[in-house]
Amino acid sequence: MSGAGPTLFPGRLPSWSLFKFPPDNAPQAIPPPFEEPSFRTPFPIPEHIYNGALQFKVPVTIASVYATTVCFLNWYNRQHGNKPWAISKTSTFQAFVILHNVFLAVYSAVTCAAMVRALKTSFPPYTEPNALVGAIDALCKMHGPRGLGDHAAYNPRTSAWEMRNPLIHLGANGLPDSTDVGRIWNEGLAFWGWIFYLSKFYEVLDTAIIIAKGKRSTTLQTYHHAGAMLCMWAGIRYMSPPIWMFALVNSGIHAMMYTYYTISALGFRVPQAIKRTLTSLQILQFVVGATFAGIHLFVSYTIPVSVAYKVADVVSKLNAASVSSAVSSAVSSVTDSASAASATAAGVALLKKLVYRAAGEEGLAENIHALGDVGYAHGGSHYAAQHPITDTIEKTVYRAEYQTVPCIDTSGQAFAIYLNLIYLFPLTGLFVRFFVKSYIRRTSSSNKHATKQHVLSKSTKDAIHGVDREIESLGLAAENGVDNIVKSAKSTKNSVRGRSSKLSNGIRNGSLSPENQRFIDSFKERVTKELEEIGEGAEGVERRARVAAKEVMENAERKASPNGLKEEKEPEKKPVNGKA
């Protein structure tokens, strides 16, 4: 497609060939180039280690084990009253927490700075013609030298890397040249993006610290850590263009977040507003990140491309006599001398012929032939019968043509984008849902005096809290599921060999074999009989209980009398001789 200049086509639907699962394995991730230590690549990473860590099973296994372990440990802490673990009370643990937070704060800040540098180096100057399309090209195409149309892209149809500019070539191995500079991948994303992917595995220690303190790790945190592992893996493995934003924005927010954690761990009080702001930034990065990543699927633009064309030229083809004559006339003094001698001989012959004709000897005149005459006579007749002979010669010429290219080239790049969308969509959808609900409620007729800024601020906070509550409910449901599984396992264990664990009023009703039941009944009878014989049977115990109760009542009555003693009745006197 030709055109007057580079043009941007937003909103163009992507090719269906990009939506392929599983995505194509090709191309493999290209390790960062290394010549000497620099900020973009501080040290070399061997290719087998680089791509080995990007195997699919690595993030899936770690994320699955992490999520399952957190769910179980949350249940464990709840069963034990969320009491701090013994290790969390040691000074070693406190020192580790501080060092952990300091390390991640510094590392995240360095990663953010490296990504800012890579982005700045890749962008064309804003004063450059077609700077907008040039910036889009810099964000979409991550390989090759800087310049609109100078990128290297992988072509799934030919299964090979290609360069649109014929003046720029691939490396000897058929891959983009490692010495190319000016695009995001070689300028730092290849190195810092891969290290940032690995850091997601280390960040699970945040959850371990929270659980060791006896607290509950929020479901949002678990979801974020597990999802970030998979999203960073897909972005770096398939070299998807939007992954630079994940590394840049997430590392920047983490730098602030771990600085906050460090200050809190040192015992300083941090205003609650800062914590709310960090939480808001984390939620908003989900919304902005999902939108930004999705846009890449719907962007195309034109770039200048040098296209080869075949042009046919019609050239006259000369005969041998003409070529001989042309060559003769162009030769040096030797040829000139020969031509002069030939001209003299021809003149003498012509003079003889004229003399004979003047004398009336026409026959003799006809018998005189000069060399020049023969050639002239024959040549003249040849020239009179000759027609021009033409030949066609093809020439290759180049001209600039503007061709449309999509932002996303491979199914792997598209897979990384919609994996991020799947990861971020639940959070984004919940946030929008709660935001709209809160905004409508706060702008109702009963809140006429609320300012728009106040309503937006409060609606954002309500949406964040709503997302947190909704996610937490899912986490609690999972922990309750663990509780039910544990109880079911205990029930199954206790029911081995015919024993039932069902309780009736706190007493287990067991089912024994007939022989064991007869033995138990016989043993109970003997014990009961022995107890009755020594006065410890049921009847004896009841009798003694009545006597003890009577004594207690009598003692109580004596204490209640005015004198502190019970008035005892005088014994009746028996009549003597029938008289009282």
Distance CA 129, CA 118 (A): 22
Top-confidence residue, 220 or 322: 220
Residue 240 clears pLDDT 90, i.e. is over it: yes
Give the chain's mean pLDDT.
77
Burial class (CB in 10 A: 0-12, 13-18, 19+), 342: middle
pLDDT of 304 reads 86
Top-confidence residue, 369 or 62: 62
CB atoms within 10 A of CB 465: 14
Look at residues 165, 169, 170 and name the one whose alpha carbon lies nearest to residue 147. Answer: 165
Q: How confident is the model at residue 275 (pLDDT cuts 50, 70, 90)?
A: confident
Look at residues 123, 412, 140, 124 and name the one whose alpha carbon lies nearest to residue 299. Answer: 140
Distance of CA 478 to the CA centre of its chain: 26
Most confident of 99-108, 120-129, 264-273, 532-541: 99-108
Distance of CA 13 to the CA centre of its chain: 22
Q: How many CA atoms lie within 13 A of 222 on its CB side?
A: 25
Q: How confident is the model at residue 290 (pLDDT cuts 50, 70, 90)?
A: confident
Note whether 434 and 39 are within 8 A (CB).
Answer: no
pLDDT of 100 reads 95
pLDDT of 188 reads 94
Look at residues 325, 321, 320, 317 and name the one whose alpha carbon lies nearest to residue 388. Answer: 317
E strand residue ranges, 503-561:
503-504, 507-508
Residue 370 clears pLDDT 60, i.e. is over it: no
The stretch 185-212 carries a mean pLDDT of: 95
The stretch 75-80 carries a mean pLDDT of: 88
Distance CA 46, CA 52 (A): 10
Q: How confident is the model at residue 348 (pLDDT cuts 50, 70, 90)?
A: low
pLDDT of 522 reads 72
Distance CA 99, CA 97 (A): 6
Residue 69 clears pLDDT 60, i.e. is over it: yes
pLDDT of 52 reads 96
Q: How many CA atoms lie within 13 A of 486 on its CB side?
A: 12
Most confident of 274-283, 317-326, 369-378: 274-283
The stretch 31-37 carries a mean pLDDT of: 92
Distance CA 399, CA 393 (A): 19
Distance CA 334, CA 349 (A): 24
Query: Could you tell me which residues are beta bridge partners of residue 389?
Result: 317
Residue 507 clears pLDDT 80, i.e. is over it: no
Domain positions in the chain are 8-32+48-306+405-453, 320-385, 512-560
Q: At what angle do helices 194-202 and 91-122 cross, to 10 degrees?
A: 160
Most confident of 150-154, 235-239, 314-318, 450-454: 235-239
Look at residues 60, 109, 23 and name the one whose alpha carbon lies nearest to residue 232. Answer: 60
Look at residues 311, 409, 307 and name the one whose alpha carbon lies nearest to residue 3. Answer: 307
The stretch 512-518 carries a mean pLDDT of: 64
Residue 119 clears pLDDT 90, i.e. is over it: yes
Helix boundaries (H) for 123-161? 131-140
Q: Cβ neighbours of residue 172 under 8 Å, at least 6 residues apart?
A: none
Note whether 40 and 113 are within 8 A (CB).
Answer: no
The stretch 286-315 carries a mean pLDDT of: 83
Q: At what angle do helices 243-265 and 272-295 cross, to 10 degrees?
A: 170
If you ran DSSP here, which 8-state letter would residue 40 be given?
Answer: S
Q: Percent of the chain having pLDDT more than 90?
A: 36
Residue 216 clears pLDDT 70, i.e. is over it: yes
Residue 286 clears pLDDT 90, i.e. is over it: no
In the chain, the N- to C-terminal Cα span, in Å, equals 145
Distance CA 192, CA 170 (A): 24
Q: Is the bond preceding 27 in cis, omega lying within 30 degrees of 0?
A: yes
Residue 386 clears pLDDT 60, i.e. is over it: no
Distance CA 487, CA 499 (A): 16
Top-confidence residue, 209 or 513: 209
The stretch 89-96 carries a mean pLDDT of: 93
Top-confidence residue, 86 or 356: 86
Residue 110 clears pLDDT 90, i.e. is over it: yes
The stretch 454-475 carries a mean pLDDT of: 65
* 3-state secondary structure (DSSP) of residue 159: coil
φ/ψ (deg, to 5) at 128: -70, 140
Q: Which value, to the nearest 10 degrees, does the dihedral of the CA atoms of residues 576, 578, 579, 580 take? A: 70
The stretch 121-125 carries a mean pLDDT of: 90
The stretch 550-562 carries a mean pLDDT of: 67
Q: How confident is the model at residue 175 (pLDDT cuts 50, 70, 90)?
A: very high
pLDDT of 381 reads 45
